[in-house]
Amino acid sequence: MNKKTIIRTFEKIALYMELLGENHFKVAAFRKAASVLELDPRSLSEMDDILTLKGIGKGTGAVITDLMENGTSEVLKELEDKVPKGLIPLLNIPGLGGKKIAKLREALNIDSVESLQAACEKQEVSKVPGFGKKTEENLLREIEILAQRSGKTPIWQVAKIADAVEAELQLIDEIQKYQVAGSFRRREEESSDVDWIVVTEQPKAVKEKILAALPIEKIIAAGDAKLSISLDTEHPIDADFRFVTEDQFATALHHFTGSAAHNVRMRQLAKSRKQKISEYGVEDKSGQVQTFSSEKEFFAHFDLPFIPPSIRKDGTELDRADEIAQLVTPEQIRSDLHMHTTWSDGGYSVEEMVEACRAKGYSHMVITDHSHYLKVANGLTPERLLKQIEEIRAVNEKYDDIEVFCGTEMDILPDGRLDFDDEILKQLDFVIASIHSSFNQPQEQIMERLYAACKNPYVHMIAHPTGRIIGQREGYNPDIDQLITWAGEYGKILEVNASPYRLDLRTEHLIQAKNAGVLIAINTDAHATEQLDIMPIGVEYAQKAWLPAEQVINTWPLETFIEKVIRR
């Protein structure tokens, strides 16, 4: 028996109870028990107090005991006997929850999406009390949509959609300001929808203009406080707009940024102080509602520091408030150590990239074009690299407010060799090693390649250490534990790639790297000047691992970087 099995059992029990239309507090109690175990860092064998944990009581404790002694749960078995498996997908249909599903099952013996569809087509559903014609039509349509639509949208697609939507919002005069909230603001890797807080005195007019401006597949809800639509974009996604006044903005932004668990913790905290949090403000005993000029002020009201959106997760961030001051922030970034130019597959010259980095106020930067193995990217031969070094040194001479270092993003070849000899590497200030080929090799071979890079004395950093593209490809599946160990042993830096396509190291690995004391760099891997702008996304993503600024070498001043990295 392991912890995961217990957690999954609780989640299944909750799901089945929900389908039976059980009391939702009871359902929530099982979900809560699952999350208590999930959040406890210990393994099952280390948890001798498991039955006394807060959130585990008589009922959930009995399930644990049953699982430990017999390997199965009687409670779950009974539920499985009672509830047909085909009902579970019904919960994915918008508008259907446990109660309605239970009613449909009672009245029409619905036990699957197929039987629900048939019943709708025979117009039997609209005869059930509590259901009507409109519900029946909606259900049929949702069943069709469900068949086409798959899961969540990766962050890089959300980013594009958000840009397009905001371009339209900007044109609406009645909007005083807007800000994206929700999971995208929290820098989650994937989102199921996008939310905006819109400040306006004229919600009706704004609603009409948004409806007229955006490509819409379906209007989900359109009231005076909220507009909810399905966007008919290349990658369809739902969008929510909340209309508030200026003074409600901070609390609305907080509320709709979530996470849900974070909000619950905040509201419990408020309640313990005889106050009540809603999206409109903080209400005290007398019914007086207080509003705030910023989220920072809102948090301060509860004696908390500003909690960055990306770490608003399960509520435990409130318990770690004193660690927040050390967290890396986008404002602390002084350098970008991974970018490309027209020498390989970038879109801008060395000088243009330098100008763009100067505009960011960076104190230093590294030009790191591809190496010759990567023919598709016009990778540099040793001869061209030497010429590029000359150009970079010359450009560097021109500026005294930024230091431009010579680097490379060198391929680690499929056979484990490195793409440049040490004689060449010696002449560079900063060497990145990356895998761009033969992702499908067995893990052993991948690790041999990474080991070759780690033990080479001229390599400084391993870039995008998994090669994943979010929502599209898994990458090359390295043994990250081993890589982190080597990075520690050989003093190599590991990269967080700020590109919303990549974002690796991913959070759980970054936590391991943090705990191992391995140095981290956050880089844009920019192939164009405007891509330098994605740095905050990488930094905010890295905050999820509670990474302190001192461990992120981009926060170091030039002198420290030279001393500890270039001349180490």
Q: Which residues bind DNA (CB under 7 A)?
A: 23, 25-26, 28-30, 32-33, 53-61, 93-101, 126, 129-136, 138, 182, 192-193, 195, 221-226, 238, 240, 256, 258, 260, 263-264, 267-268, 271, 276-280, 283
- Shortest spacing between CB 336 and DNA, in angstroms: 34
Task: Rank residues 106 and 168 by Cβ distance to DNA and give the closer one.
Answer: 106
Please answer whether residues 217 and 232 qualify as being in contact, where contact means their C-beta atoms are separated by less than 8 angstroms. yes
- Shortest spacing between CB 58 and DNA, in angstroms: 4
- CB within 8 Å of 160: residues ≥ 6 apart: none
- Shortest spacing between CB 261 and DNA, in angstroms: 9
Tell me which DSSP letter residue 562 carries: I
Please answer whether residues 106 and 98 qualify as being in contact, where contact means their C-beta atoms are separated by less than 8 angstroms. no
Tokens 């409600």 belong to: 248
- Shortest spacing between CB 322 and DNA, in angstroms: 21
End-to-end CA distance of the chain: 48
- Residue 313 phi/psi, 5-degree rounding, is -125, -85
Task: Rank residues 267 and 360 by Cβ distance to DNA and give the closer one.
Answer: 267
The answer to whether the bond into 43 is cis (omega within 30° of 0) is no
Rounded to whole angstroms, the Cα distance separating 238 from 145 reads 13
Task: Rank residues 204 and 426 by Cβ distance to DNA and give the closer one.
Answer: 204
Please answer whether residues 302 and 262 qualify as being in contact, where contact means their C-beta atoms are separated by less than 8 angstroms. no
Q: Minimal CA–CA distance to 90: which of 20, 184, 24?
A: 20
Alpha carbon separation from 487 to 445, 516, 524, 542 (Å, rounded):
18, 9, 21, 18
Task: Rank residues 254 and 514 by Cβ distance to DNA and give the closer one.
Answer: 254
What tokens does 453 get? 């890079």
Rounded to whole angstroms, the Cα distance separating 462 from 447 reads 12
Q: What angle do CA 339, 342, 345 make, to 5 degrees?
A: 70
Please answer whether residues 449 and 416 qualify as being in contact, where contact means their C-beta atoms are separated by less than 8 angstroms. yes
Task: Rank residues 131 and 249 by Cβ distance to DNA and give the closer one.
Answer: 131
Rounded to whole angstroms, the Cα distance separating 555 from 549 reads 6
What tokens does 114 get? 């197929």
- Shortest spacing between CB 53 and DNA, in angstroms: 7
- Shortest spacing between CB 545 and DNA, in angstroms: 25
Torsion of CA 171, 173, 175, 180, to 10 degrees: 10
Task: Rank residues 56 and 206 by Cβ distance to DNA and give the closer one.
Answer: 56
- Shortest spacing between CB 369 and DNA, in angstroms: 43
Residues forming a β-bridge with 412: 418
- Shortest spacing between CB 191 and DNA, in angstroms: 10
- Shortest spacing between CB 281 and DNA, in angstroms: 9
Order of all β-strands in the sheet with 281-283: 276-278, 281-283, 289-290
Task: Rank residues 181 and 392 by Cβ distance to DNA and give the closer one.
Answer: 181
Alpha helices in 400-462 (DSSP H): 422-425, 443-455
Task: Rank residues 263 and 408 by Cβ distance to DNA and give the closer one.
Answer: 263
- Shortest spacing between CB 23 and DNA, in angstroms: 6
Task: Rank residues 240 and 336 by Cβ distance to DNA and give the closer one.
Answer: 240
Task: Rank residues 98 and 467 by Cβ distance to DNA and give the closer one.
Answer: 98
